[in-house]
Amino acid sequence: MRNDTILLEHGSGGRASRRLVEELLVPYLKNQVLERLDDHAEIEFEGTRLAFTTDSFVVDPIFFPGGDIGKLAVNGTVNDLAMGGAKPLFLSAGLILEEGLPVADLKRIMHSMAEATEKAKVHIVTGDTKVVAHGAADKIFINTAGVGLIPKGVALSGHRGEVGDRVLISGPIGEHGIAVMAQRSGLDFVASCKSDTAPLADLVAQMLNAYQGIHSLRDPTRGGLAATLNELAEQSRIRIEVEESAIPITESVESACELLGLDPLHLANEGVLVALVPAEGADLVLNAMRNHPLGHKAQIIGEVYSKKLPAVILRTQIGGKRVLAVPTGVQLPRIC
Amino acid sequence: MRFLHEFRDPQAAEVLVRRIRKVADSLGEIRFMEVCGTHTMSIYRYGIRRLLPPNIRILSGPGCPVCVTPNAFLDRAIALARLPNVTIATFGDMMRVPGSTSSLEREQARGCDIRVVYSPIDALRIAAQEQHRRLVFLGVGFETTAPALAATLLEARRTKVKNFSILSAAKVIPPAMQALLKDGPLRLSGFLCPGHVSTIIGSRPYEPLVNEHGIPCVIAGFEPLDILYGFLMLLEQVSEHRAEVEIAYRRAVRPEGNPKAKRVLKEVFIECDAQWRGIGRIEGSGLALPNTLEAHDASLIEVEVEPTYEVPGCICGLVLSGQRTPFECDLFAKECTPETPQGACMVSAEGTCAAAYCYGRIEEE
Amino acid sequence: MCLAVPMKVISIDDDHATCVIGGVEREVRLSLLPEVHVGEYVIVHAGYAIQILNEKEAQETLQLFADFQGDIGETG
């Protein structure tokens, strides 16, 4: 750790976040389950495999096109469980409220969480609420933890990538990132982007139904597709090559990125997943995705080429090649 | 997105590359320099270097206004940020640039009021809305940005937003290009000239490079086809033993540039000498505010600035003047990474070193 | 330093314009250009239009690339 204070960058999902976790947090809490650093923990318990995960939500603004912090909190944890192949069952919700938060806003968020749990077919069975003085939190922070059951035969992990695996993505990138950025003052642009926040457990179930041998699933949240592909490359020690022109992206997101000088590969997604699938199962999984409402724009975007030095290479739109690096810093609009 | 997608067509790219290879084939070693951070980025982003034949070397010059901004400017901005009633507004590019001991990002973490905006107009709006705050806009940029700064200042004066001021680090690029040629033995075969700077200044300012130094100049846009076409035109000049200023980016650049923008610049800014990080003082390369605009000149705000400290071993200057590549710096990818930048070349999104680190290090197996 | 995008002007009010790129709209200042018309494309940098995009030149450049393609085809 090179800094003496925590910076925003440490939470942005890129290089600094990884260093914080790997160099400061994990060393204190050492254990084999944690050290796998998947988005979920897998615990074997009397013949049953449980998936267990936690996530905190501090998004600002708390209301944005397509959702709010409550919906995000439910879907985010459901998705972390889903990435482990688990059927999400029960969630907890811890609320930290800033003094002065309008009750109407809290009601809106609770309503949203209720809707999201219904859609995701989970229940929030326990919770906690704290209120802190004005200024000690930003309106509302939510932590959700979740448990789910992993069916027999399913073994998903970031460590399982193999040469020949195809890289699949379920939908267009950057929707959530742009939807949130459009709300920020000082940027003042109008785009029709809505957050793509959605529960992916059902999509995952369909994918596993079609082909149980999927190696890895990951949802590219903070840090975007670039961060996620690099995590998978690191965990499995693989070289992944991705075709830029195959990555689905909507015109709105692409244009907003051009305008602000943002890289869509670094933007957060909340309703998209990436899969590493052995070649023999790739088309089966792709079809299953395309037959699901949350995967109808799914694409095969790349392949795992070797298993030595972890790297993610992008074949560019015009046929060039370049490294797709782990994002650094917080995504900020640029003029340069 | 019209006028963008068409200039990214892969088939046209392939054709341009083949044509480039054909022309370059009979020529020896070719060294072209681009002097615009956006060109640096675009070349890396699209993987253009590896498409070009091996006898063409592309050097990156001092075209990133963030990279060439000296520590002293950052230190002054930070000192201002620490004043109780000051709000700093800045382009996002400046947030992570290291000053002597801190950065705007760190100061924001410590509670200073620092806000990222997309346009100086957004900063003016904040100033108008928060009249109890003194708003200082960090005016970093070349001739593409300077007119926007100038126009915003004129609007501030016209609408009497007294609490709006600019700390100018604005620079002009042709003197720097000249200075590069006076210094080391760069042996350049040509300059790829900055497309949007040229939108403002036109093609005439590059003529001394041709007339006094015989170096071919082609003004190019930023899409991959624009860049490839620019290189092709440069190669054709070299192959035909010509040295001229040509415009490849004809949809956006006219020989006379943008006369109205040039007038606005002249109305607001005065020419001054400027310090370029790593290169030193270049005569007539800076833009400063005149006495008539002192009410909006943040450089006149009294504040104590810490002594400047430059990192030893950092060869940003040599990288910025194209004499070394990032890979030749001892600190590159070791102490100096995008996460822990030692110099501006690494921290700016368009910095030569940042681009090399993030996009350029492909290890073949 | 040259991050600027081509945007279409969809409405003008004095020296303010609303411009659009791929469905994304933003307010743009026209104070650096003499005369702009709705429907024209402008190059926008840091919230200001810095030049009117010359559509004819754009088409000619693209045509040039297409002609190059033809040349290569002929020589095989």
Annotated domain spans of chain C: 5-75
Q: How far, in Å, are A132, A183, B74, B179, C65 from residue A102 at the CA level? A: 14, 19, 40, 60, 60
- State the residue for tokens 């411009």: C19
Residue A7 has pLDDT above 80, yes or no: no
Closest CA to B140 of B200, B39, B68, B78: B68
Q: How confident is the model at residue A333 (pLDDT cuts 50, 70, 90)?
A: low
Stretch B256-273: mean pLDDT: 97
Residues A164 and A142 in one domain: no
Closest CA in chain A for residue C24? A191
Average pLDDT along chain C: 91
Using a CB-CB cut-off of 8 Å, the residues of chain B touching A15 are: 337-339
Tokens, residue A104: 């109407």
Residues A95 and A214 in one domain: no
Using a CB-CB cut-off of 8 Å, the residues of chain A touching B338 are: 15, 325, 328-329
Q: What is the CATH number of the domain that holds A93?
A: 3.30.1330.10
Q: Specify which residues A276 forms β-bridges with.
A: A167, A216
Predicted-complex ipTM score = 0.94
Quote the number of domains for chain A. Answer: 2
Q: Please count the other Cβ atoms lying within 10 Å of the Cβ belonging to residue A202.
A: 18
Is residue B307 included in any domain, yes or no?
no
| Alpha carbon distance B346, B357 (integer Å) | 8
Q: What is the model's pLDDT at position B182?
A: 82
Which positions ≥6 away from A19 have C-beta within 8 Å?
A: A1, B339
Q: What is the model's pLDDT at position B364?
A: 47
Q: How confident is the model at residue B363 (pLDDT cuts 50, 70, 90)?
A: low
Q: What is the model's pLDDT at position A303?
A: 98
Q: How confident is the model at residue A2 (pLDDT cuts 50, 70, 90)?
A: low
Is residue A138 included in any domain, yes or no?
yes
Q: How far, in Å, are A252, A282, C20, C37 from residue B1 at the CA level? A: 9, 32, 10, 19
Residue C76 has pLDDT above 50, yes or no: no
Cross-chain residue pair C61–B350, CB shorter than 8 Å: no
For C18, half-sphere exposure in the C-beta direction (CA atoms, 13 angstrom radius) is 9
Q: Are B62 and B176 in contact (CB under 8 A)?
A: yes
Residues B157 and B276 in one domain: yes
Cross-chain residue pair B126–A323, CB shorter than 8 Å: no
Nearest-CA distance B316 → chain A (Å):
18
Cα angle A69, A71, A77 (rounded to 5 degrees) comes to 95
Nearest-CA distance C2 → chain B (Å):
5
Phi, psi dihedral angles at A233 (to 5 degrees)? -60, -45
Residues A172 and A266 in one domain: yes
Using a CB-CB cut-off of 8 Å, the residues of chain A touching B224 are: 316-318, 320
Is residue B156 included in any domain, yes or no?
yes
Residue B312 has pLDDT above 80, yes or no: no
Torsion sign across C-alpha atoms A143, A148, A154, A155 = positive
Using a CB-CB cut-off of 8 Å, the residues of chain B touching A7 are: 105-106, 109
Using a CB-CB cut-off of 8 Å, the residues of chain A touching C46 are: 335
**Which of A115-119, B58-62, B230-234, B320-324 bottoms out in mean pLDDT, i.e. has the lowest?**
B320-324
Q: How confident is the model at residue A189 (pLDDT cuts 50, 70, 90)?
A: confident
Residue B106 has pLDDT above 50, yes or no: yes
- Using a 10 angstrom Cβ sphere, with 0-12 exposed, 13-18 middle and 19 or more buried, the burial of residue A95 is buried
Using a CB-CB cut-off of 8 Å, the residues of chain A touching C26 are: 188-190, 259
Residue C74 has pLDDT above 70, yes or no: no
Q: What is the model's pLDDT at position B365?
A: 38
Is residue B306 included in any domain, yes or no?
no
Residues B88 and B146 in one domain: yes
Quote the percentage of chain C above a pLDDT of 70: 92
Name the residue range of residue A82's domain: 31-150
Nearest-CA distance B271 → chain A (Å):
23
Residue B148 has pLDDT above 60, yes or no: yes
The DSSP code for A94 is E
Determine the angle formed by the axes of helices C55-75 and B10-24, rounding to 10 degrees.
60
CB nearest to A186's CB, from B13, B105, B122: B122
Tokens, residue A163: 């040469």
Residues A35 and A111 in one domain: yes
Cross-chain residue pair B109–A8, CB shorter than 8 Å: yes
Using a CB-CB cut-off of 8 Å, the residues of chain A touching C16 are: none
Residues B161 and B284 in one domain: yes
Quote the percentage of chain B above a pLDDT of 90: 70
CB nearest to A189's CB, from C2, C26, C46: C26
- State the residue for tokens 């440069």: B234
Name the 3-class secondary structure at A330. coil
Quote the number of domains for chain B. Answer: 3
Closest CA in chain C for residue A256? C24
Using a CB-CB cut-off of 8 Å, the residues of chain B touching C46 are: 91, 118-120, 141, 145, 148
Cross-chain residue pair C68–B119, CB shorter than 8 Å: no
Cross-chain residue pair A336–C1, CB shorter than 8 Å: yes
Residue B250 has pLDDT above 50, yes or no: yes
Which of B7, B15, B45, B198 to mutate: most C Cβ within 10 Å? B15
Cross-chain residue pair A8–B105, CB shorter than 8 Å: yes
Q: What is the model's pLDDT at position A206?
A: 97
- Return the number of CB contacts < 8 Å for A and C: 40
Residues A74 and A167 in one domain: no
Is residue B133 included in any domain, yes or no?
yes
- Return the number of CB contacts < 8 Å for A and B: 140
Stretch B148-172: mean pLDDT: 96
Q: Which residue has the higher pLDDT, B311 or B100?
A: B100
Nearest-CA distance C35 → chain B (Å):
10
Q: What is the CATH number of the domain that holds B113?
A: 3.40.50.11740
Cross-chain residue pair A255–C23, CB shorter than 8 Å: yes
| Whether residue C34 has a cis bond before it, omega within 30° of 0 | no
CB nearest to B144's CB, from C4, C53, C66: C4
Q: Are A304 and A240 in contact (CB under 8 A)?
A: yes
**CA B112, B113, B117, B119: dihedral to nearest 10 degrees?**
-110
Cross-chain residue pair C46–B145, CB shorter than 8 Å: yes
Q: How confident is the model at residue A33 (pLDDT cuts 50, 70, 90)?
A: confident
- Return the number of CB contacts < 8 Å for B and C: 135
Cross-chain residue pair C33–B260, CB shorter than 8 Å: yes
Beta strand B217-220 pairing with B245-247: parallel
Residues A126 and A189 in one domain: no
Residues A80 and A139 in one domain: yes
Q: How confident is the model at residue A91 (pLDDT cuts 50, 70, 90)?
A: very high
Closest CA to B274 of B180, B153, B173: B173
Residues A172 and A294 in one domain: yes
Residues A86 and A61 in one domain: yes
Distance of CA B146 to the CA centre of its chain: 12
Residues B55 and B198 in one domain: yes
Name the residue range of residue B280's domain: 71-172+269-300
Please spell the DSSP secondary structure of A296-314, one letter per residue.
TT-EEEEEEEESSS-EEEE
Q: CATH fold of C5-75, please?
A: SH3 type barrels. (2.30.30)
Residues A139 and A169 in one domain: no
Cross-chain residue pair A318–B340, CB shorter than 8 Å: no
Q: Which residue has the higher pLDDT, A187 or A309?
A: A309
Q: What is the CATH number of the domain that holds B55?
A: 3.40.50.11750
Residues B181 and B47 in one domain: yes
Nearest-CA distance C58 → chain A (Å):
19
Backbone region of residue A135 per phi and psi (left: phi > 0; alpha: psi in -120 to 50; beta: other values): left
Is residue B186 included in any domain, yes or no?
yes
Beta strand A239-243 pairing with A311-315: parallel
Q: Scan residues 36-55 of C and list those with Cβ closer than 8 Å to B.
A: 41, 43, 45-48, 50-51, 53-55
